A and B are shown apart, each in its own frame.
Chain A
Amino acid sequence: MLSIKNLQVKLDDEDKQILKGVDLEIKGGEVHAIMGPNGSGKSTLSYVLSGKDGYAVTGGSAALEGVDLLEMEPEQRAAAGLFLAFQYPVEIPGVGNMTFLRTAVNAQRKARGEEEMSAAEFLKVVRAKAKELQIDAEMLKRPVNMGFSGGEKKRNEILQMAMLEPKMCILDETDSGLDVDAMKLVSEGVNALRSEGRGFLVITHYQRLLDHIKPDFVHIMADGRIIKTGGPELALEVENNGYADILAEVA
């Protein structure tokens, strides 16, 4: 599904290497988690994969189902099936959430040569999916993320994911700013989307999200590299002992 090989990335406007050779292989149906101390490059990885400006790839590759992601525009990556749930979802005044969702869904369909969804069909689908995430009609009508609480913003991210049905989902610190109930709701939303043909990359600081979204693999990232890979028990180790032991171990 997602194949990252020796990916090296620096910031565009300063000579600072952020990723120093990341290797990661995610197959359909798998959930991978990346943990790591602040500044280790976790969020950079998610931005580079989704095509945000400001980064320069200096080596390596990233492909989704064999197609090179790094040469594509952000919208092409989305149409190819990549989805990033933002750590800080952006507020867009003046653009209705519904309009936004429908524009996105139909833009992707168009890019893939599929038929666009009619207004009536879209409404039916979005209402059903919103209900599962306890997103009410009022929230759908408001401008994108405007006046949403932290939890509402994250639920809105998951709603987008559910509507767009991507192949590869990256969740960047989706647990940040969530209380226990909201985390449960968001996790249920994510778990409902788990399927054979879909991969997940969950970036998080805390093990507790992984109690809800159970990973198949856990990777520890530090200083721009994945330094250790294991099963769910690795997340528990981090939770109990912090990163110091692991960092010392590989040093």
Chain B
Amino acid sequence: MADAAAKTDPTEAMIASLEMPSGTWVQPLREDALARLRVMGLPQRRDEYWKYTRPDTLTQPEAPHAAVLDSDEAPMFGDVERLQIVFVDGVFDAEASDDLSLEGITIERLASADSDLHWAKNVYGVLETRGQTPVARPLAALNTAFATDGILIHVTGKPSKPVNLTYHHKSESSDAILHHCIKLDEGTELTLLENGPAAARFNKVLEVEVADRASFHHIRTQGRDHERRAATHIFTRLGTESAFRSFTMTVNGVLTRNDCVIELTGDDALAHVAGACVGDGDFVHDDTVFITHDAVNCESRQVFKKVLRNGATGVFQGKILVKAGAQKTDGYQISQSLLLDGDSQFLAKPELEIYADDVACSHGSTSGAIDEDALFYLRSRGVPEGEATDLLTLAFLAEAVDEIAHEDLRADITDRLGAWLQRHRG
């Protein structure tokens, strides 16, 4: 590659700035991803799926600096019995991590999984590749090519506790690329928890292969670091009667782009994806979801709620594609924003593309302010304005938070959202 080209072509400039880790089975998969990336090129403002969110700080070679958050809030999931795996600025921290053995699953690190006949060969970059059409996701290809580490989990049973990936951000200039793969065998179950600010800039891919009758739960919290930039992707493929449930809480962050690409390939499968985000000021949060129904009698549900104030921006791009033959599809999509002032904005692009004739798909997108009548009603009962506003705001977020099945975690997430609202009153 010529240096001159690197200077003019942002994709080549980015590639030149990175070093591809060496590996055994993963090597050809990385090379393939690099080739995909070169064909696609990194995202630009003119790309259809990047017109609301500026990609430049995600695609420039140097990660913009991000201050390290000093918080005295209790760590998330601290009360949950779990197997914890810790990454600091994208680097595995063996000291802080639990022993990686747990009955019903095998856990390995991408950086050290070097057996030639690795199961992850059929997952790593594979689901990502499937998710590149019809919409290109170059940052995910970049991740597959250059991820420095990640966790590979093969689920063969029903482990007694969730796996918790905890991230810590300690360096102002860290630029982390992690790639996790999870394969759930038939009839198995896993709950994955993710929390913590990961790095100044974070590019993460999570690929989840869910076999027939298997069930995957994912609860993730992003925040509270203010200056981070993150691009995350989830790629999942679902077998017959399987279930995928993912909830994300996002607080703060100058730029967070969460892509979720779901393929329902077995009959009677279920996919629920939800997000609750709160942003104040210099904040852009983008949920981009693509759900493909390619089997009979599957259910998908998207519930995204955003609370925005002081010029914060929320983006939602959600698509349901129902292929010919995917009869009895039940698709639901709701994206709503609560604008706490006149300066904030919510940009939504709901899309339905349906080629089957016996389906029920509904979608709705709204943007609104606090209900003045409800606010007065609460105040007339003695609830102070700030508290009443918080109560109504939490009620607005509740439809998304209620997607979390685990009662204690739901309560914990609600408390944290409540605490954020209290800190950010107008």
Contact = CB atoms under 8 A, between A and B. Distances in A.
Interface of A: 50-53, 73-75, 77-79, 83-84, 86, 89-95, 99-100, 103-105, 107-108, 111, 143-144, 160, 164
Given A53-B376, A74-B376, A103-B387, A93 B395 contact: yes
Interface string B240-270: 0000000000000000000000000000000
Contacts of A50: 380
B372 interface: yes
Pairs of residues from A and B, 9 with the lowest C-beta to C-beta distance, nearest first: A94-B395, A78-B382, A108-B382, A104-B381, A74-B379, A90-B377, A94-B398, A95-B395, A75-B379
Given A51-B380, A90-B373, A75 B385 contact: yes
Given A53-B372, A90-B377, A107 B383 contact: yes
A78 B381 CA distance: 6
B379 A73 contact: yes
Nearest to A99: B391
Contacts of A99: 391
SS of B interface (majority)? helix
Interface string B391-406: 1101110110000000
A154 to B, nearest CB: 14
A75 B377 contact: no
Nearest to A85: B380
25 contacts: A50-B380, A53-B372, A73-B379, A73-B384, A75-B379, A75-B380, A77-B380, A78-B379, A78-B381, A90-B371, A90-B376, A90-B377, A92-B371, A92-B377, A94-B394, A95-B392, A95-B395, A100-B378, A100-B391, A103-B391, A104-B378, A104-B381, A104-B382, A104-B383, A111-B382
A223 B387 CA distance: 38
A92 B376 contact: no
B394 A107 contact: no
A111 B383 CA distance: 9
B374 interface: yes
Nearest to A103: B383
A100 B384 CA distance: 12
A90 B374 contact: yes
A90 to B, nearest CB: 4
Contact of B384 (A75, A93, A95, A143): A75
Contacts of A111: 382, 384
Contacts of B398: 94
A110 to B, nearest CB: 9
A77 B380 CA distance: 8
B389 to A, nearest CB: 12
A84 B360 CA distance: 44
Nearest to A93: B395
Nearest to B395: A94
A100 B395 CA distance: 11
Contact of A51 (B373, B379, B387, B388): B379
Nearest to A105: B382
Given A75-B385, A78-B381, A108-B382, A52 B376 contact: yes
Interface of B: 371-374, 376-385, 387-388, 391-392, 394-396, 398-399
Contacts of A103: 378, 383, 387, 391
A108 B392 CA distance: 18
Contacts of A52: 376, 380
B395 A107 contact: no
Nearest to B391: A95
Given A53-B372, A90-B374, A92-B374, A74 B395 contact: no
Given A75-B380, A78-B382, A79-B382, 12 more contacts: A52-B376, A53-B376, A78-B381, A84-B380, A100-B391, A103-B378, A104-B381, A107-B381, A108-B381, A108-B382, A111-B382, A164-B381
B371 to A, nearest CB: 8
Contacts of B392: 92, 94-95
A44 to B, nearest CB: 14
B85 to A, nearest CB: 35
Contacts of A86: 377, 380
A14 B287 CA distance: 43
A50 B376 CA distance: 9
Contacts of B385: 73, 75
A58 B377 CA distance: 24
Contacts of B391: 95, 99-100, 103
Given A86-B377, A90-B377, A75 B372 contact: no
B384 A107 contact: yes
A122 to B, nearest CB: 14
A74 B373 CA distance: 13
Contacts of A93: 395
Contacts of B387: 103, 107
Contacts of A144: 377
Contacts of A100: 378, 381, 391
Given A92-B374, A103-B387, A164 B382 contact: yes
B116 to A, nearest CB: 53
Contact of B377 (A53, A79, A89, A164): A89
Nearest to A80: B382
B383 A94 contact: no
B399 A75 contact: no
A119 B271 CA distance: 37
Interface centre among B373, B378, B399 (most CB of A within 10 A): B378
Nearest to A89: B377
A13 B371 CA distance: 19
Contacts of B380: 50-52, 74-75, 77-78, 83-84, 86
Given A52-B376, A90-B374, A104-B378, A75 B395 contact: no
Contacts of A84: 380
Nearest to B381: A104
Nearest to B398: A94
A201 B378 CA distance: 21
A168 to B, nearest CB: 13
Given A75-B383, A103-B391, A94 B396 contact: yes
